[in-house]
Structure 1
Amino acid sequence: MSFENQPVVAAPDDWRAYSGVLSRRIFAFVIDYLLVLLLCIPAAVVVFFLGVITLGLGWFLYPALFVIVALLYFGMTVGGRAQASPGMRAVGIAMMRLDGRRIDFLTAVVHMVLFWILNSVLTPLILLAGLFIERSRLVHDLLLGTVMVRTD
């Protein structure tokens, strides 16, 4: 029996699954971006040696290093079996689709990119939408049909 298309946690209509999700998302954000910064250190060492091997061409990756590490980090963790990054797991939340299917790598990456774009274009005040939208969803959650739920 395959659990590939099974929901991560409670049904999307259970209100308890969304209680306190916004504050947990903030703490998960801080934890995850600290981890991404820590992962940039070994990635910078790898890029250094790649630059030596490619006679300096690899060093052009340095300006995009944070973005590359963050894309891989969120794509592999949120798009993985737990459907949550380590920061999300630490605060007890996970991402799921409203149709119950699992989040894949590409959806996790697009979710993060939309978050960055919407926050840079529409200012971080767009995050206040979570206070007024059902299930405490943010705008990028609405666009992708995803929702953050409690796992505890």
Structure 2
Amino acid sequence: MKAYHYRFEKVLTYREQEKSETEVEFKNAVTEFETLATQLYDLLKKKEDVLGEQQERMAIGFTIDEMHHYANFISSVEKKIAELQPLVMKARSKMNWFEDRLLEKSLEVKKFEKMKEKDREHHRAEMEQLEAIQLDEMSTLKFRRRENGW
């Protein structure tokens, strides 16, 4: 009985390697997106907190300098938010692109694994058939030896 060897083993290995590399790239893209999204969230939260503090201070009363300080700070935060939003959108697009690629690579690997499983099953059936033929031949030879008196 000959050992099983999958003819597309190198292709399967290559596809699995591509999938692994894509997984790493996807994880990096997710990390980048999470970092940028967290920065954006923090800025938005800071702006909200400062606006709330400004409203409280307005109810109590505060100086023109303090008002300018709040206005400048809010303007600065809004500028940073405006700079960060396109980066977050780009990171999200990149993450989604890698997610699609990872799905595609996973499907390719599954196809080759399925083909390998079918090929292995075919090989097993073929080996069983050969074994049955050999057993039949051995039985026939044994029967003839008994008939001929060997």
| TM-score above 0.5, yes or no | no
More strand by share: 1
**Greater gyration radius:** 2
Higher helix share: 2
Higher relative contact order (CA 8 A, sep 6+): 2
